[in-house]
Structures are given as C-alpha cells and as structure tokens.
Structure 1
Amino acid sequence: MNEVLSYFQIGANTFALTVAGWIYLAYIKNLNSTVKLKDEQVKTVEKNIQFWKDKVSELERRSPEHVEKILSERIKIREDEIVRLSEDKNIHKHEIDLKNQELLRLKSEVEKTKDLKRTFDALDFFIEEDDELFSKDAEYEIEELGFVAVDSGQLMITDPCYIDSQWKDDDLEILRLYKDVENSNVIQYGKDFNHYDDVINGYDQSANQLLASGRIEALEVDYTDRITFSYAGASYATLSNKGYGSMPFELGHEGAGIAVRTVLGDGMYPVYAEKYDGKMVRIYFNLL
C-alpha cells in the first residue's frame, strides 16, 4: 500500500512539474514576443528619427546658410594655417601668400553667399521640402561670361527692348564750376575761360595756377533733374558724387536702366556669373 502511495506521489509530482514547465515555457515565449515587439518598435522609431534627420540635413544643404557655414569653416582652417606658417615667414613666405590669396577668395565667396541669402529674403523666397530648385548637393561656383568694352568711363544695365522705345537723344551739357575761396565768386569753364592755361580776367593767373594754389576749388554740380534714359542722362548720373544713378522711363518712373562709373575709366571689363547648383543666380562685373 505504501509503495502504491509512493508511486502515486511521484506521478503527481511529475505531472505538477510538467504543468509548471509548460507554464514557464509559455511565459518565456510571451517574454520573447514582447521583446521582439519592443525591438521592432525601437527600430521603427530609429528609422523615423533617421528619416527626419535626413530631411533636416537635406534642407540645410539646400540653403545659402549651409554654404556660408562651410566657407566659414574653411576660412577658420586657412587662418589657423597662416598663423602657424607666420612663425617662420622666411621659409614659408610663398606658401603664406598663397594661403592669403585663398583666404581672400573664400571671404569674398562668403559675402556673395550672404548677399544671395539677402536676395532670397528680400524676395520672400522659401525652399519647400519638395522644391527641386537646388539639389541637396548644390555647389557654389563663379564663371567668367565675357568682356564689356568701355570707351566713356561708364557702364549701363538695361533691358535691350527699352532702347528702341525709350532711348532719347538729349544733348550733353557739362558744367564746370569753380568757387573763389576768398570771395565766393563762381567761375565757369566756357564762359570765364576756354582753356585752363588761359589767364582769367581779374586774377592775372590761369585756371591751372589758381587750382594749384588753392585759390579756387571745383564745385559739385547736381545733375539729378537731368538724368534721362540717354547717353547724356547716363553721363549726368555717373558724374554725380555717388558715381551712379537710376535712369527713368519716359513717364518718369524708375526702371529703364542703371548707369555706373568705372574706377579706371575706359578698357575691357570682365563679367562674371555666380552659379548655385549650375543655375545662374547673379551676374556682376568689377569696376577696376
């Protein structure tokens, strides 16, 4: 009888252990499923984070601020190199000169990039997420377009279609006025004297001698009210103290053209284009 009870007890214990094992296995499987689910959720969150990081990075690369940041970092590197090389100027003089030239070029590109950003801001320009105006790897570059010949010491920017419809043939009349610093008398070229080496009545000296001694000085003539869309108007604009002027349409509103004085006078002046992602975003020309 005792043996039967003993076997029965063993069987009951075995059954209890088996049931406990099943329960444990089910618990482990449930834990594994939970862990896998959490892992999938974590991966999904990481993918979303990476997706938005890529979007942010892509938008940043499209903006002029990104170009400015890259150029600023390059400038910092070049400045550090120049400081290091300056410690031994004799050995590294040529290398320092090259670095200084590159530094000036980079700073110039930074200013152009800032100006490009200001243009975007002025036009209320905004790059949408799906806007493909510039690619995410857009590069900034400068290209020489050609040369403009100058024979009057000035350049004009206009739309060619306005030349036939708006251009005038006004006469150019340049006034050369001089003031006597002692008595404030005004002397006019072409009226009081015709040549600068002619003796002026009442002075017993020529205009050149009076200018050299400081007795007379040139007066600035305001030609603002004479600026028209003509060669004479362009000349009046560039002869002003500012050195440039806006040329109006026949009805009087601005926009027909801009005239600007060159620094070195006549010559051949190169015209450059600034490109962003291969697209021409601005043109400019040096005045010297």
Structure 2
Amino acid sequence: MPPWVSSVVDVLQLAMNTAALVAGAFIWRLYVGNLKAALTARAAEISSVEKNRDFWKDKAQELEKRSPEFMERTLEERIQTRESEIIRLKDDKEINAESLTALQREKANIESDLLRTRGFRLMLALEEREEDDDMPQDHEIQVVFLGEVGVDSGMLMITDPCYIDDEWQGRLAHDGTPGDTPSRQVRSDPADDNAQALPPYSFRGACETTNPDGYGELGFKMGHAGAGVVFHTAWGDGAYPIYGELHDGRIIRAYINVR
C-alpha cells in the first residue's frame, strides 16, 4: 500500500473521532438541558403545591380559631402563664420580705448601738473631769469598752466579788446550805441612833431596796452599809455595755449604759 494511503486513513480516523466527540457533547448538552427543565418544572410544581397547602392550612387555622375548643385551650394557656407569674412574684415577695425583715432587724440593732453610744456620750458630758495633781494634764485618757453584762432581773448590782462567799444572804450559801435572809437589817452606826434599816445582801434585799425609788444600798451581816449598790435598768432585761476611762494602764472611772 502506498504511503499516502496510510496518511489519508489516519486523517479520516481523526476526523471521525472528532465528529463523534462533537456529537456526544451536543447530545450530553441536550440531556443536561432537559434535566434542568424537568427540575425547574418540578420545583415550580412543588412551589405551587406548597402555596396551595399553606393557603388551606391558613384557612383551617382560621376556622379552628373560631371554634370554642381553640378559645378554651388559648384561655387555659393564658391562665397557666398568669399563675406561673403569680407564683414567681409571690416567691420574690417572700424573699424580699425575708430580706426586708433581716435589714429591719439589723437597723434596730444599729439604732440600739447608736442610742447606747449617745447615752455614753451624754454621761461623759455630764461628768466634769477635775484636774488631779497625780494626773498630768498632757496625759490622754482613753475610753475603752470593758465588756457586756447580762441582765435577767431588770437590775444590776455593784459589789466586791470577795463579799459573795462570806456576806451573801441569799437562798443558798456558798457551802450549799440554806442561808438566813432577814427582811431588814439595822445600820450599825453608833453615832446615829436613828439610822435607817438596810435590806440584806441578797436578791430579796435587792428587790426591796430598789422599791420604789429604783435604786438603793445593801447591808452586810453586821448591819452596816457597803455590801453593794443596786439599781434598775432603763429597758429591763438584756445585755448592757460597760465602758471605762483608762489612764496610765489603770481604770479610773467606769460607765454602765443601761439604756
């Protein structure tokens, strides 16, 4: 076979292959176009169906809203919502009430401390400090809080602790035996024959000496004064602060605020 025949055959095969590729591409393009058109038509159909469905759904909901059952259900939901709000507000009110009560209690305690502080300041104002030769004028007097004393009888007594064991004439003596509690004692003052009687150094005597003036003295077993001084508190029972004036490490004056 001549060489030019082989060349012609190769050219013809190349042309046929190219034509086949072009035809396949055209057919593929037509196929893809048909698919897109079908998908577009299907999407339009679905959209139309959805619109129709939404239309009838809205109609059904509108008709349902006009029914008594729907109104009852709506009202019940609103009632439940309001009840939940009422319960929440009630709980908040109780919490706020507890907080308010605590704040009021704290305020009352602060006001009580303020009254005690003012009372102590008034006591200091009533006392005129006299200059003492043993106390340098340039030495500062420090006011210190000594502590609190509890009161359950509405009275306080100032006494020397060493008298309690030997001079106390209350219901029980220091050894546990019943003590003698005379109603009155006579002041042993040889210079004064008209000396008044003193109540005994006991709780009964404290009640007697504070009636009716609210204060008084207690006598020793021998009859003379000095066992103790008793007085009523302004507010009855409670815990009362005691302050002292400290000078050079020593207590030179004490104040008991019984307000």
TM range (shorter): 0.3 to 0.5
Bigger-Rg structure (1/2):
2
